[in-house]
Structure 1
Amino acid sequence: MNDSKNVHGLERLGSVAGGVMMVGKGLRRGGIFGLIQVAIGGVVLARGITGHSSLKDKLEQGRQEMNTVRTKIERVGAELKNLKTSAEVASEKSTV
């Protein structure tokens, strides 16, 4: 588990407040839906208290992987363009 803090400021405060509110509502509601609400509220509360969100880590990893793929695609596109230009130049020289 990555222990770095990736939730800060108002986002962290909002997580604590929202988590407390959800846990409270879930306890008052009771039943299976109340239990689900308590569980979700607990996760949100833990996110605010610890300042770490595993989901946010996964999203950032996905974003970085997408950027890597985009860079590779752009590089291959540039190489293809260079190959096309070279082929056109070679074709012109051979027909002259």
Structure 2
Amino acid sequence: MSLTQNVHRLERAVSLATGATAIVAGVCQGGTSGVLKALGGAALLQRGLSGHCVIKGLISDPKSELECLRERVAELRAALPRLQKEMDSLKGRQENRLDHAVEETFPASDPISP
């Protein structure tokens, strides 16, 4: 079951505009309140882009919305092992690059200067 669009065209446009404005204002403001403002803006931006609002869904059809959320959590859980494997691989490549850079920067044949 996929998330249905429950936010209509005008609501989406308002969410996109308000979200983008809040993100910019939060970043410019800085601090804890700025971060909170930017996060709220990101939520509004996501609402406008996806056309779905979880809160609106919980109010209008809570059973269906909870089922969709459960399915989404199950999908994310299933993806975790793959993501962990990718992260481990990335970490290994970064460590190899760092080792190579250290070897290139400090060759063993160069004497240590006093």
What are the Cα deviations for residues 14-47 of structure 1, in whole angstroms up to 9, with x where unaligned?
Answer: 0000000000000000000000000000000000
Task: Identify the structure with the greater helix proportion.
Answer: 1
Q: Which residue of 1 aligns with 2:43?
A: 43
Provide the rounded CA distance (Å) in 2 between the counterparts of 1:19 and 1:2. Answer: 24
Uncovered stretches (5+) of structure 1, i.e. residues with no partner: 63-96
Q: Work out the CA distance in 1 between the residues paired with 2:61 and 2:12.
A: 20
State the SS of the aligned residue for 2:61: helix
What is the CA-CA distance between 1:9 and the residue it aligns to? Answer: 1.1
Runs of 4+ residues deviating >6 angstroms: none
- TM-score, scaled relative to structure 2: 0.52
Q: Equivalent residue for 1:55?
A: 55
Give the CA deviation at 1:11. 0.6
SS of equivalent to 1:59: helix
Structure 2 residue aligned with 1:32: 32
How large is the Cα RMSD of the aligned pairs? 1.4
Q: Which runs of 5+ in 2 are unaligned?
A: 63-114
Deviation at 1:54, TM superposition (A): 0.4
Identity across the alignment (%): 34
Using the alignment, how far apart are the partners of 2:41 and 2:32 within structure 1?
Answer: 14
TM-score calculated relative to the size of structure 1: 0.61
